[in-house]
Amino acid sequence: MSIINSQLKPFTAQAYHSSQFITVSDADLKGKWSLFFFYPADFTFVCPTELGDMADLYPEFQKLGVEVYSVSTDTHFTHKAWHDASDTIKKIEYVMVGDPTGTITRNFDVMIEEEGLALRGTFLVNPEGVIKVAEIHDLGIGRDASELLRKVKAAQYVASHPGEVCPAKWQEGAATLKPSLDLVGKI
């Protein structure tokens, strides 16, 4: 069964955010758009490039009402240590969720069981708790936050404009499509 259009599974976790430890749960996401950004581990190589890129665009996600949750199987204590040690990670203002039991990672089906690490998985959850975008990469392939931002805008557009769809490479303000019998074979 595809994870797309499935309901977010319940979870509670400890996280590092704004120089403090907090508890985050699925209940905190109700009524908001949320982006889960799974990565293998703190103190690694591709991960800080991705998390730093996301940190640079985080204000743009916030303008769209999207909260970002980075998640790895490290603890919230390790997230704080990495935040304190790395200039790139120090830029992060979004929530860094610790998932040492792997519960959340397994809920999204991105756990590499043999290693206890997450694949690079990105999931956009709508305000009703339904997963609308899912993207999973192998460990060596980094993501682009600007492309994720484009996908968020497309998902939000489609959610607020029933009957319309966003074509390939759609950018905010560009034309959309209204699927109908008249379009069949004309695109």
Residues with catalytic function: 47
Task: Judge contact between 47 and 38, C-beta under 8 A.
Answer: no
Taking residue 92's Cβ as centre, other Cβ atoms within 10 Å add up to: 23
SS (H, E, C) 76-99: HHHHHHHHHHCHHHHCCCCEEEEC
Helix (H) or strand (E) holding 68: strand 66-72
Rounded distance between C-alpha atoms, residue 32 and residue 92, angstroms: 20
